[in-house]
Every structure is written in structure tokens, then in C-alpha cells.
Amino acid sequence: MVSGLSAQNVTTATPAEKMAEVMKVNTTLHDFDNIPQGKPVYCIFELTNIGETPLKLDDVVASCGCTTPEWSREPIAPNATALLKVGYNAAAVGHFDKFITISYNKNQKKIINIKGNVWQAPVGSAPANTSLGFLQKQSF
């Protein structure tokens, strides 16, 4: 008879304890709606430390180079709020949907999102204002 594994010999890994959430974001999505091509836009996300110890943002990474996050490297005190500024360069025409990954306290992550639609401005300059010449000739 071939000996098999008995229940006493098998050990199962216990699931890792879920880490307590220590950061709250005021919103996880910002919709820029329609923006003109070539006009960079920015939005602000509020990050609040809801933990009992200082919160350290290790890194903030955007899903592409057209999106730029800016944040303070200082730890966020308990019950304090820090601002995360996210810019989008609006270079490409069309819909965009970009993700920003916030890494904090060495092993926690949160993902936020920006989206919108970039429209192409008409080619050429604005039409001439014919009233301008008339106004310049007037004496007041």
C-alpha cells in the first residue's frame, strides 16, 4: 500500500491579514469633459490620512507620459490632508482615460483616474474683426 499524505502532514498558509485602510481620497475619478487640444489641464485630489501614524507617499505613477502627478514628499500627519495635483497635456485629439497609481506606506496602493475628451481647435486664426477699424476711426 502506498502511503499518502495525512491531514496532519499538510499545512495550509493562513491568508494574510488585510491591512487597515489608512488613506482616503476625496474622489477616485475626475472627468475633465471636453477640453481644447494643446491646452494643458489640472485637477486636485485630496488625500486624507485616516490612520493613527504618519502616512508616507512612496511614489505616484501615471499610466503614460501625458499625465503628470505632483505631490509633497513630506509625510501626512494623522487626520491631515495633502493635495495631489494631476496634469494632462491634451496633446492628442480624442477620448482619454488615464490611471494614476499611488503607492504608500511601503506596501499599499490606490488607483485614481482622470478622463475626458480632447477636441481639435479649428485651423487658422480667428476671423478679422471688421468693427475694430471703425472704432479706431471714431473720435470720442
Domain assignments of the chain as residue spans, ordered by start: 23-119
The CATH-assigned architecture of domain 23-119 is Sandwich (2.60)
**What pTM did the predictor assign?**
0.74
Task: Look at residue 35 in the predicted model and tell me its pLDDT.
Answer: 96
How much is the average pLDDT of 21-37? 96
Percent of the chain with pLDDT over 90: 69
Mean residue pLDDT of the chain comes to 84
How much is the average pLDDT of 1-13? 43
Residue 116: name the closest of 133, 90, 95 by CA. Answer: 95
Residue 75: name the closest of 39, 49, 100, 96 by CA. Answer: 49
CA 105, 110, 116: angle at the middle one, nearest 5?
Answer: 145
Task: Look at residue 78 in the predicted model and tell me its pLDDT.
Answer: 97
Task: Look at residue 10 in the predicted model and tell me its pLDDT.
Answer: 40
* Position 137 pLDDT exceeds 70: no
Task: Look at residue 135 in the predicted model and tell me its pLDDT.
Answer: 52
pLDDT tens, 70-128? 999 999 999 999 999 999 999 999 999 999 999 999 899 999 999 999 999 777 666 66
